[in-house]
Structure 1
Amino acid sequence: MARYTGPKTKKARSFGEAIYGPDKYFERRKFPPGQHGTSRKRKQRSDYAVQLTEKQKAKYIYGVLERQFRGTFERATAKHGVTGEWLLKLLEARLDNVVFRIGLARTRSGARQLVSHKHILVNGIVSNSPSHQLRPGDVISVRGKSQSMDVIKDSVANRSPESRRYTWLEFSPDKLEGRFIEYPTRDMIPEKINEQLIVELYSK
């Protein structure tokens, strides 16, 4: 399965949430996509369907493929603590997610592209792996010759207020440099994901 590149509003409507962030088109049409629109009666879903939907939602939010998601879950189970919380912590520690969170890109897909095209450094070394797992203390910066790119300058100049509230991250707009301070606690992660449903799904 390849990453989803279709209409984001349509996908958000299928989950009933603006999973990709504020979306004026979603606000206008919050009902599920399809020719029957609001007239379609929704059947009561099984526990499995609810759990599967939650996993799919998490995958689309973070832009992770099934194999990567399963691997992240397995690493989370090996950690000491609550598996569901560690799953989200590891997803938040992905390089593409952190590049997005600190404001070097406006979307996670845009952040993934910056990393893949070798515009981002981790501790001074080029990393072209969006799934690169950061550790507390790691420094994320923009490669010297990439610092003049309009897409990066525009993203930094228009950073969302939310990007300044992530206390587990530091960012210096002047240096185009950030730091992954620590793994966030669950209450710091703003994504509306019921991670326990995902744990129950994989525990079957």
Structure 2
Amino acid sequence: MARYTGPVCRLCRREGVKLFLKGDKCMTKCTLERRSTKPGQHGTSRARKESGYSKQLREKQRVRRTYGILERQFVKHFGLAATRPGKTSENLLQILEMRLDNLVYRLGFADSRAQARQLVNHGHFAVNGRKTDIPSFIAKPNDVIVVRDRSKTLEYFKTRAELLSQKGIPTWLSLDINALSGRVVTIPSRADLELPFDEQMVVEYYQR
């Protein structure tokens, strides 16, 4: 399965914002705070005035890299968002948020989306009682995500259970710490998502 395997701090420097790709480590050991220039030999060059296309591209890359999705799959998500009723920009964010790897991250079972993706790939989770190891699986309201019984005996999930009480989860999700399970209460609205994106620019990028 294709995925980005390079240094993730480089991505934050390129986008000029914290993307929190390393989870809690981004709060204490952030390369962007020490080196705010863009990566590469031209990173310290004088900044040029950005064109409209350049701004749209950067915003699209910010969203895509935050969720850890490569271009081909991101285009598929955008195509799905465009076919749904309502605003394409809000539909896109809802699809990204309802991905299984993102839900595992939001529920606190992982410190980053990359870690959540790995946990899902290794088959540690079930959705509505069925083992699901596809990170791009799109959940629906009332779907229940639970750590599988055989995985609950692993030291990782035993430790994670102790930390879940300290994690804050979005209001559109519910969490049962004792059962190591979570439920999608409703599809999140844009107001529920505190994201530093201008998703409308992503729509403009693909519709140019």
Instruction: Output the TM-score relative to the length of structure 1.
Output: 0.91
- Matched residue, 1:66: 71
Q: Is the 8 A contact 2:106 2:169 kept in 1?
A: no
Q: CA 1:87/1:126 → structure 2, altered by over 3 Å: closer, same or farther?
A: same
TM-superposed CA distance for 1:6, in Å, is: 1.6
Task: Give the one of 163, 166, 170 matched to 1:166.
Answer: 170
5 Å-filtered alignment, 1:85-100, equals 85-100=90-105
Deviation for aligned residue 1:203: 0.6
* Preserved CA contact (<8 Å) 1:103 1:156: no
* 2:180 matched residue in structure 1: 176
> Matched residues in 2 for 1:153 and 1:44: separation?
51
Q: Is the 8 A contact 1:72 1:87 kept in 2?
A: yes
| Alignment correspondent of 1:10 | 10
State the shift of 1:195 in Å.
0.4
Supply the AA of the counterpart residue of 1:174: N
Q: Given that residues 108 and 169 in structure 2 are in contact (C-alpha distance below 8 angstroms), is that contact kept between their aligned partners in structure 1?
A: no
Q: Hey, which bits of structure 1, 4+ residues long, moved more than 4 A?
A: none
Query: What is the distance in 2 between the residues matched to 1:83 and 1:160?
Result: 35
| TM-score, reference length from structure 2 | 0.90
Q: Which runs of 5+ in 2 are unaligned?
A: none
Structure 2 residue 35 is the aligned partner of structure 1 residue 29: yes
Counterpart Cα distance in 1 of 2:45 and 2:160 = 40
Unaligned ranges ≥5, structure 1 = none
Which residue of structure 2 aligns with residue 197 of structure 1? 201
String of CA shifts for 1:88-108, please: whole Å, max 9, x gaps: 011000000000000111111
Give secondary structure in 1 for the equivalent of 2:50. Answer: coil
Deviations 1:107-142 (A, max 9, x none): 111111111111100000000100000000000000
Q: CA deviation at 1:82?
A: 1.0
- For residues 36 and 161 of structure 2, what CA distance do their matches in structure 1 show? 31
Q: 1:47 & 1:32 partners in 2: Cα distance?
A: 20
Supply the RMSD in Å over aligned alpha carbons.
1.9
Which amino acid is 1:28 matched to?
Answer: R
Out of 163, 188, 194, the position equivalent to 2:192 is 188
Q: Which residue of 2 aligns with 1:141?
A: 146
| 2:134 alignment partner in structure 1 | 129
Amino-acid identity (%):
42
Q: Is the 8 A contact 1:51 1:201 kept in 2?
A: yes
Alpha carbons 2:81, 2:88 under 8 Å: kept: yes
